[in-house]
Amino acid sequence: MNYREDIMKRKLIKTISVTLLATICFLPTVAAKKTSPIGNQIKLTKVPNVRDLGGIRAKNGQHIKSNRLIRSSALTHLSGHDKWKLSKRANVKVILDFRSKSEIKQAPDAKLHGTRYHRLSVMADPKFGVHTTAQYIQQLAAKQPNNMELFYEKMVVQPHSIKAYRSMFHYLLKQKSGAILYHCTYGKDRTGIATMLILSSLGVPKTTIMRNYLASNHYLKSTTRHEYRLMKRHTHNRKVLTNLKRSRTAKTAYLNAAYAAIYHHSGSMKHYLHTQMRLSNKDIQQLRKNYLTK
């Protein structure tokens, strides 16, 4: 091999090496897809506890697709940039509002361009969640220590609540593309039950569902502190303040109360989804096809 051929060979090897390196660097990182039991936070200006469930892993090794299922608190105070982020970046196409008629009237969601809105009130009382400060203090003073557990039981057994969550699955089955965003006021209780049912239908283990539920404590921390400080301006009654904390906290015992009620009335989560949510095996398969990816 002469000198000129040797130079050409070296240049060729260098070119191939650079090309291979570039190819490796820009290959899609499907295998390294990030998964998270709590989903990924969508940071909005004044709306806390907004999370894309994308990345949550099911028992079969698949995970939830990004920009398909979003849990949230009320969308009352969306800024212009927040609206853009939800409608354009997160691709929200459907909003399901679990609040009561009075809650919605008092603090309606900001309108998002190109989305369909559906009210699915979980609680039968049309005035649920709306009260003056004096009324709220009286309610908190009257609550028993197990009030939240009873509330969670009610959300999975009372006919009105079952009807609302059944309607939720109707929309989940219909939505083949874009994101469904569902919410209540704080995105913790009614939304927590909704998430438990959705993740269960997708085959996500209970331990993951519980971690996702408890994450609300982190995302609502500043909101809860602010509300507690405001309440202390009106009363120093220890029972009132303790019950306020209980009602604004996500606890394992609360979600376990819902699970226990489901097991007691239906025997298993699977049977509950079949009988109360009226999901057939074909429906379950369709949900997993819609929202899970490898």
Instruction: Give the CATH number of the domain where residue 208 resides.
Output: 3.90.190.10
Whether 10 is in a domain gets the answer no
Q: What is the dihedral of CA 124, 130, 136, 140, to 10 degrees?
A: 30
Whether 14 is in a domain gets the answer no
**What is the per-residue pLDDT for 38?**
80
Whether 6 is in a domain gets the answer no
Cα angle, residue 124 at apex, residues 119 and 125 outer, rounded to 5°: 100
* pLDDT tens, residue by residue, 91-122: 999 999 999 999 999 999 999 999 999 999 99
Pairing of strands 40-41, 51-52: antiparallel
Ranges of the chain with pLDDT below 70: 1-34
Whether 20 is in a domain gets the answer no
| Total domains present in the chain | 1
Q: CB–CB of 105/82 below 8 Å? A: no
**What is the per-residue pLDDT for 36?**
78
**What is the per-residue pLDDT for 182?**
99
**What is the per-residue pLDDT for 21?**
36
Give the separation between CA 149 and CA 25, rounded to whole angstroms: 51
**What is the per-residue pLDDT for 61?**
94
Give the separation between CA 271 and CA 131, rounded to whole angstroms: 37
Cα angle, residue 142 at apex, residues 137 and 146 outer, rounded to 5°: 115
Which tokens go with 48? 């806390």
Whether 16 is in a domain gets the answer no
| Residue keyed to tokens 């409608």 | 87
Whether 12 is in a domain gets the answer no
Question: Domain residues for 149?
Answer: 34-293
Whether 17 is in a domain gets the answer no
Q: Is residue 183 helix, strand or coil?
A: strand
**What is the per-residue pLDDT for 34?**
64
Whether 137 is in a domain gets the answer yes
